[in-house]
Structure 1
Amino acid sequence: MPSLTLDYRWGKLYDVGRLEPGQTAWGLGENTAVRVASTGTTVVGDGSVVALDPRQAQFTTGPNGAIGALNVLLHTFGAGEAL
């Protein structure tokens, strides 16, 4: 599975936000997981989890094919934090 940091997959996360503007796009860093339990949902591992909220975003594509994004909210969660 690709990871956000090690494989430089941030562009793909933003691309998912562009393709599904009504949905939150989630990304997990390497050596990281999400634990879903009856007591809550938390981040476990060495990296972080990010939630990209594109609902108010405006996306553009540059002449070189790069994705541009304005008004995207990016939430970050570290080890032990609740989602």
Structure 2
Amino acid sequence: TIFYEGVRGEAKLLTNEPSLPRTRKPPSRFVDSLPTSLSYESIYDLYHDEYFEIINNILNSLDSRFKQSIFPLLCKVEQF
């Protein structure tokens, strides 16, 4: 644990705290055509949304991969 604490302490010295990117105002000619951008109150909210978007994409991909019409037949063949 001493090694871990040393590595952790050194990592804190070498990295900065995460910060939110500045909110950018779209050009006036695009105001009507572009969707409104999301603005977050904290860095936690930003990473929370990104994390759950990734998890949802993974789950949807797995569902589409393993819910094919041939999959039950393959499971029966595997159990045979």
**Do the two structures share a fold, i.e. TM-score over 0.5?**
no
TM-score by length of 2: 0.24
More strand per residue: 1 or 2? Answer: 1
